[in-house]
Amino acid sequence: MKRSKVLLISPSNIKEVFSKSKLNVAVPEAPSLSLAVLAAAIRERHDVKILDMRIVDEPSKELIRILKEFEPDYVGVSFTTPSFHEASEIADLVKTYNQS
């Protein structure tokens, strides 16, 4: 049976969303552990990659590069409400790439 490819994404702008807020001190600098836990849970049956867009210089270009190279069957975006617009942009970019 063919293993599905899963790409899990964490948006980049979470620090920017809270940059002028007192909540800025509570925003973690650490990688998204929830995506790592999810990846660990499904890696027995799926090939999994995680893209933390906070640690790359050009997030959109990196996403396109991974979509081309990895060719995922499924893409998941983990976000909180303040990152909704960026998550929507990521979903639109994935959808556009998938249709081409």
Cα–Cα dist 43/97, whole Å? 24
pLDDT attached to residue 54: 85
Percent with pLDDT over 70 in the chain? 80
Q: What's the whole-number average pLDDT of the chain?
A: 86
Taking the chain, what is the end-to-end CA distance rounded to the nearest angstrom?
27
Task: For residue 28, give both structure tokens.
Answer: 């973690």
Tell me the pTM.
0.82
Higher pLDDT, 62 or 25: 62
Task: For residue 93, give both structure tokens.
Answer: 């970019």
Higher pLDDT, 1 or 75: 75
